[in-house]
Chains A and B, each alone.
Chain A
């Protein structure tokens, strides 16, 4: 499309303020991180001399960093498929006529819109060893007083955090997939039924291809959210016990704002950005977001 010079000036004046602000938070931090990550600023010294790649070499030897990255991957690898499958199953349950459906859906929206930090606080109330309802129900089922330390015992912290995470975001998958399922062409489903195709066959041949574009975007959104997982873990364990549940975001927070390893944190933040950019670029190529 060819624009007259007046339209061109007009369109640029519309875009300029937004681009300016985006550069401020999009590009400035990147440049600043780059500068700081080559210096040697820590809590005790303000060493702004050029340190070369020292901070980046430290990245490779930092066991705790790679552990936190691994934890993040574990959370994502377990939570994402579970949220997807559960959300899809729920959508299937609600897709046919069901009395009171609007009420159910309105209630199921609630976890998604609660602040994640509040969701984490809520589950810390739920998991409380003595006054929480979860241990109470388990006690009742086992017929004796049980105190399970959900957020403290090493083999229980992951299930606890995952439960809270899945509780909050399964409804997100559910809502998106329900909308996608309602848009599937009914006549195709009827034709498949007449041809005698079974449920699974119909699902894989007709339903899944039809809802895939929405599903792909839902997966992308959730994967990126899980990669930055912070609030729920912060509320439940603060990354503990020890550093067992520390995610990459929590690690960066602790390094930067509790241990004040400024230059090293800059290197960590840069690594996060680069890592994510690669993944996002690859993902955006596959997902059809731009119409």
Chain B
């Protein structure tokens, strides 16, 4: 009896701690979101209001009216296009490395080390190149860079997923008279569908959330939402309603996508070190 009470107290304490911790991690996001629904009077009131008196969407209406909301579309275009290309090229490369050991360990190690170079050191020479090629502030320029930057991740992750597929399946398909390409399309890709999906989501999120590449390589035409958010930072005071509404527009899609892929999150984040 006594041990049961103690057990219950311990559980209550753990629940309290878990709730407090979760509150700490969620509150800033709540605050960010909530400001976008407040009126200007409420945003700049002292003391701050913890809950909007009345939900209103004026901040969003302004963003759509001024055309600022199209930056979310730009983010979508470059993130999805670069994801598709990187997934296609990367998976093929990963297959060769996984099955034929093309390039050996050196190639695999070189590829993953490419991911670790700080973006600022890459984007500087790329910028100079793009000025020359007239690719600054174009979709193609951004898509190309995001594709190349995400390739190491795709190759690395897909290599792991492909290694998980039993080789025997491919061999029997070969015996049945399939060509190598047919094996790829009919056996390998369908077998690692979940891995393809999870890796694509991560690739998309990396490009979607990037700031530094877009900051350097865009001007006015293909500004992404992350760069747009920083346009509202003022010298003296920030344009809070816009910062908040723009951030929400860019963040909600990510939350929805991640909600669907909880299962693959840990493997994707740990570069494949943890298999879910």
* Closest A residue by C-beta to B232: A121
- What are the residues of chain B within 8 A of A28 when measuring CB–CB? 125, 129
The answer for the CA separation of A90 and B17 in the assembled complex, in Å, is 9
- Which one, A185-193, A201-209, A216-224, is touching chain B? A216-224
Contact between A118 and B14 (Cβ–Cβ < 8 Å)? no
Contact between B274 and A214 (Cβ–Cβ < 8 Å)? yes
- What are the residues of chain B within 8 A of A94 when measuring CB–CB? 18
Range of interface residues on chain B? 35 or more
Is residue B4 contacting chain A, with contact meaning CB distance below 8 A? no
Grouping DSSP codes into helix (H, G, I), strand (E, B) and loop, the A interface class, with mixed when no group exceeds half, is helix
- What are the residues of chain A within 8 A of B47 when measuring CB–CB? 136, 139
Q: How far is the CB of B225 from chain A (nearest CB, A)?
A: 8
Is residue B60 contacting chain A, with contact meaning CB distance below 8 A? no
Contact between A227 and B118 (Cβ–Cβ < 8 Å)? yes
* Closest A residue by C-beta to B254: A113
- What are the residues of chain B within 8 A of A156 when measuring CB–CB? none
Give the residues from 211 to 259 in chain A that come closer than 8 angstroms, CB to CB, to chain B.
213-214, 217-218, 221, 224, 227-228, 230-231, 234-235, 248-249, 252-253, 256-257
Q: Which of A11, A18, A272, A291 contacts B100 (CB 8 A)?
A: A11
Q: Knowing A18-B151, A22-B148, A133-B31, say if A265 contacts B124 (CB, 8 Å).
A: yes
The answer for the CA separation of A262 and B114 in the assembled complex, in Å, is 23
The answer for the CA separation of A171 and B103 in the assembled complex, in Å, is 36
Residue of A114, A227, A272, A290 with most chain B CB atoms under a 10 A cut-off: A114
Is residue B77 contacting chain A, with contact meaning CB distance below 8 A? no
The answer for the CA separation of A117 and B21 in the assembled complex, in Å, is 23
Binary B-proximity of A275-288 (CB < 8 A = 1, otherwise 0): 01100110010000
Contact between A29 and B125 (Cβ–Cβ < 8 Å)? yes
Contact between A277 and B113 (Cβ–Cβ < 8 Å)? yes
Contact between B120 and A280 (Cβ–Cβ < 8 Å)? no
Q: How far is the CB of A29 from chain B (nearest CB, A)?
A: 4
Q: How far is the CB of B258 from chain A (nearest CB, A)?
A: 5
Binary A-proximity of B71-112 (CB < 8 A = 1, otherwise 0): 000000000000000000110110111011111010111011
Contact between B180 and A10 (Cβ–Cβ < 8 Å)? yes
Q: List 17 A-B contacts (CB under 8 A).
A: A21-B147, A110-B26, A113-B258, A114-B29, A115-B250, A118-B226, A121-B233, A122-B247, A123-B28, A126-B31, A171-B25, A179-B270, A221-B269, A221-B271, A228-B118, A273-B121, A276-B118
